[in-house]
Amino acid sequence: MPDNWLPDPYILVLTGCGVLIALVAWLPLALRRLPLSLPIVCIALGALLFSLPGLVLRPLPMDFPKVTERFTELVVIIALMGTGLRLDRAFDWRRWVVTWRLLGITMPLGILAITGLTAWGLGLSCASALLLGASLAPTDPVLAADVQVGPPKTGEEDEVRFGLTSEAGLNDGLAFPFVHLAITLAAVASTNEPWLAGWLGYRVLWEIGAGIGAGWLIGRAFGWLTFHVPAETRLARTRDGLIGLAATLVSYGLTEIIHCYGFLAVFVTALSFRRAHREHDFHTQMHEVTEQIERLAMMVLLLLFGGALVSGLLASVSLAEVVVALLVLLVVRPVTGWLGLVGLQADPSEKLTLAFFGIRGVGSLYYLAYGLNRMEVAEAQRLWGFVGLVVLFSILLHGLTVTPIMRFIDRRLGRDPDADDATPPPGLKGPAA
């Protein structure tokens, strides 16, 4: 008989990982028809876990700034590859008009509105308010998976799902110039050095242009190696979906080495990769692998987020933050989303859905961590509390409404969401049936 009945922490970690992986596979099926999302369950589990007596770890992002930045960064880039791979619609300026409206009108108006609202309502400095605007304006590619298109070649690509998927894929990279603008404004606040030309030339023109170009070239290279080299050596013969993860990391790494926007490059790489042989089954295999890795990483992150909530993340939140957070989700995104879609030939219910589901999540946490790690901000804890509150509200609001709303959209389009052969949405609802 052993003298010490206390379990080895290593064994506890192994057991916990096994339970987590089982939940990744099973929970999406259990939640498929419920007005409840996997992120809500993950956050609740994380809050319960980190409330246990004797657990001393406090996973507060402000206590682990570099870890927070890198972990959220990894989750986002994996999600961006999966997002690009599952888009069946070929790139076309006219057929992507809903995307250009959401990117060119809705997102800039959202950044402007959130910046003004937080500067006025919370009394923040211009740089801090702009950092919040750039962090909270983009639709999240990770937590927005419930309203995105299905896996490759499933045909589930109505205008609502396509618009929200393509927006989430592109707006993360296009928000980066405004994050850098906030960092620049904080740096020159006391020096009055000229900054506009450098910001426009480097942060906007070079980093966006080079990111798109590099992503396209890397996607073309992987497409050639996968589908078009001699039959004996092409990567598609491996039948190994890890090639999608390889393309993600290579694209992000190479583009960051040349100092351009890696988020944008990864999504463009996925589009270019998919274009190399649009109907090949290997895209489905790559998507399945990236999706599984994304869901596992997302669940770990949300468990930690739940732990941060019960460890004091919202300690600095006051009534003013609550009011402004609700305005961001219930007024700013729906109004700017509707303005961006004025004149679009679409059903009003589809426009309302596109305008409403501007989900905030992992991308917002990444941008805030990135900005705060590069600028001096006296109210950093307050910014973390506010962004954490917006993300929590978004997960609850959109998580409780996404299932009934998307089922309603499916029925209006003649699809039966309860059919045995219906493909569940990607990411947070589980893999293809």
| Predicted pLDDT of residue 10 | 73
Tell me the two tokens of residue 331: 């007024």
- Taking residue 75's Cβ as centre, other Cβ atoms within 10 Å add up to 26
Q: Side-chain half-sphere of 318: how many Cα atoms within 13 Å?
A: 6
Which residue in the block uniquely carries the two structure tokens 């999302």? 37
The conformational region for residue 414 under phi > 0 = left, psi -120 to 50 = alpha, else beta, is left
Measured distance CA(68)–CA(177) in Å, rounded: 21
| Predicted pLDDT of residue 194 | 84
Segments of the chain scoring below 50 in pLDDT = 1, 423-433
- Taking residue 281's Cβ as centre, other Cβ atoms within 10 Å add up to 11
Measured distance CA(166)–CA(103) in Å, rounded: 10
The architecture that CATH gives domain 12-429 is Up-down Bundle (1.20)
Tell me the two tokens of residue 177: 């110039």
Which residue in the block uniquely carries the two structure tokens 């690509």? 157
Residue 224 is which amino acid? W
Tell me the two tokens of residue 36: 């409840």
**Prediction pTM value:** 0.90
DSSP state of 182: H
Identify whether the C-beta of residue 299 lies closer than 8 Å to the C-beta of residue 20: yes
| Predicted pLDDT of residue 417 | 61
Q: How far apart are the first and last CA of the chain?
A: 48
Measured distance CA(269)–CA(220) in Å, rounded: 8
Measured distance CA(239)–CA(285) in Å, rounded: 7
Measured distance CA(141)–CA(171) in Å, rounded: 9
| Predicted pLDDT of residue 431 | 33
Distance of CA 344 to the CA centre of its chain: 25
DSSP helix/strand/coil, 423? coil
Tell me the two tokens of residue 68: 């927070």
Identify whether the C-beta of residue 107 lies closer than 8 Å to the C-beta of residue 133: no
| H/E stretch holding 49 | helix 38-49
